[in-house]
C-alpha cells in the first residue's frame, strides 16, 4: 500500500522520522502481516504499548503480505517499522533467494519470539522423519515465502532434491484444507506455537509432528545461522503426547536506518518496561526477554536499540 493511500485512510498529514519522543510529532507505520496470522494482532499490541506509554508517539499497525513484503516496504521508505522472519532478513540483506539486490536500509530492534518449523503428517502416516516424505505430496508454503525457503533448507540437509517430494505451493490455510481433504500427505508451517491452522486440523484429525533429530537440527543450525534448535512441547496440539525436536527462525522487530537514535531508544525501552501489559494483550509477548532479544539475527542492530541494551548490560 502506498504511503499516500495509508495516510488518506488513517488521516496522517506528515511523517516525522526524527525528533524527540514527546509532543505529537512522531508518527510511524508498523508493517505486520495478514489478518489471520500472528504478526498483525501482535503488531497491534505493540502499537498500543508505544502509543500509550510514549508521549506524542503515534504508531499505526498496517496489514501486509508479511516478511518478504515488509523488508521491501521498509527499504522503499513506505514504512518505518516492520515484523520480519530472521531468515528473510538474512536473504534480503545479502541478496539471496528471491532477493536479487541487497536491501540494507534496515536495522534490528529486538528478536521477539521463535517461529517454529512444524512438519505435520497424519498420525497413521508411515513417515517417521523428513526423509520418509520422499515421493509424498506436501504443502510447502506460498511461493517465495519464508516457509518455502525453510522447506528447501530441510531438503538440503537431508540430501534430497526438489524432485523427491511432490511440492504443493500453498498458504497455511490452503494446506490445512488440502490436508483435511487428503489431497496432500503432509505440510510445513513456520510460525509461533500453537498455530491456529494446526490446532483446527487436530480437533478433527489425528496428527503428528515429524521429529528433526538433534544431529540434523544441529546441522541445519550450522549451515543456516539464522536457524536455531527448538522444541514443541507435549500437548501443544491435541494428540501430541510427546515433545518434538525441531528448529526455528525468529520473529524480529526492525526499524528503518533513517529513524533517529532517540526514537528507537524510546521504542525499545517502552517495549521491555511494559512487557507484562504486552503479554496480557498477546500470548507471544510473554516470550520476549532481554537475553534472547539480542541473539538470532544476522543484520546490525539500530544504535537506539544498542543504547538500551548496553544500559541493561544485555549487549
- 194's torsion region: left (phi>0), alpha (psi -120 to 50) or beta? beta
**Banded pLDDT at 66 (limits 50, 70, 90):** confident
Q: Where are the alpha helices (DSSP H) in 181-260?
A: 196-202, 214-223
The DSSP line for 84-125 is EEHHHHHHHHHT-TT--S---SEEEEEEEEEEEEEEEEETT-
pLDDT digits (tens, 9 = 90+) for 211-241: 999 999 999 988 987 888 889 999 999 999 9
Note if the pTM is more than 0.85: no
3-class secondary structure for 64-93? Answer: CCCHHHHHHHHHCCCCCEEEEEHHHHHHHH
147, 192 Cβ separation under 8 angstroms = no
Q: What is the pLDDT of residue 73?
A: 96
For the chain, percent of residues with pLDDT exceeding 90:
71
Q: What is the pLDDT of residue 36?
A: 66
Domains in the chain with CATH codes: 3-113+251-311 (3.40.190.10), 115-249 (3.40.190.10)
Rounded Cα gap, residues 243 and 229, in angstroms: 13
Amino acid at each position: 500500500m502506498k504511503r499516500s493511500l495509508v495516510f488518506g485512510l488513517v488521516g496522517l498529514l506528515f511523517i516525522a522520522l526524527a525528533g524527540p519522543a514527546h509532543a505529537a510529532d512522531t508518527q510511524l507505520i508498523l508493517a505486520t502481516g495478514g489478518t489471520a496470522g500472528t504478526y498483525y494482532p501482535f503488531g497491534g499490541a505493540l502499537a498500543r504499548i508505544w502509543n500509550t506509554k510514549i508521549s506524542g508517539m503515534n504508531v499505526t499497525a498496517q496489514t501486509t503480505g508479511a516478511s518478504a513484503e515488509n523488508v521491501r516496504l521498509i527499504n522503499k521508505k513506505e514504512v518505518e517499522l516492520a515484523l520480519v522472519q530472521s531468515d528473510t532478513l538474512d536473504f534480503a540483506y545479502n541478496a539471496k533467494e528471491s532477493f536479487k539486490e541487497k536491501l540494507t536500509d534496515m536495522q534490528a530492534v529486538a528478536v521477539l519470539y521463535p517461529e517454529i518449523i512444524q512438519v505435520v503428517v497424519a498420525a497413521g502416516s508411515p513417515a517417521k522423519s523428513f526423509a520418509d516424505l520422499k515421493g509424498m505430496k506436501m504443502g510447502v508454503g506460498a511461493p517465495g515465502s519464508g516457509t518455502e525457503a525453510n522447506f528447501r533448507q530441510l531438503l538440503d540437509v537431508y540430501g534430497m532434491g526438489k524432485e523427491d517430494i511432490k511440492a504443493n505451493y500453498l498458504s497455511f490455510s490452503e494446506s490445512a484444507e488440502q490436508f483435511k481433504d487428503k489431497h496432500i500427505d503432509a505440510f510445513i508451517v513456520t510460525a509461533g506455537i500453537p498455530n491456529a491452522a494446526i490446532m483446527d486440523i487436530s480437533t478433527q484429525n489425528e496428527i503428528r509432528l515429524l521429529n528433526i533429530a538433534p544431529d540434523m537440527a544441529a546441522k541445519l543450525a550450522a549451515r543456516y545461522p539464522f536457524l536455531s534448535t527448538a522444541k514443541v512441547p507435549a500437548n501443544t496440539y491435541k494428540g501430541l503426547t510427546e515433545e518434538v525436536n525441531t528448529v526455528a527462525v525468529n520473529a524480529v522487530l526492525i526499524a528503518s536506518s533513517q529513524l533517529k537514535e532517540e526514537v528507537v531508544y524510546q521504542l525499545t525501552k517502552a517495549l521491555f518496561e511494559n512487557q507484562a501489559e504486552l503479554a496480557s494483550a498477546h500470548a507471544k509477548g510473554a516470550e520476549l526477554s532481554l537475553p534472547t532479544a539480542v541473539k538470532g539475527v544476522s543484520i546490525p542492530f539500530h544504535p537506539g536499540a544498542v543504547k538500551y541494551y548496553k544500559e541493561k548490560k544485555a549487549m
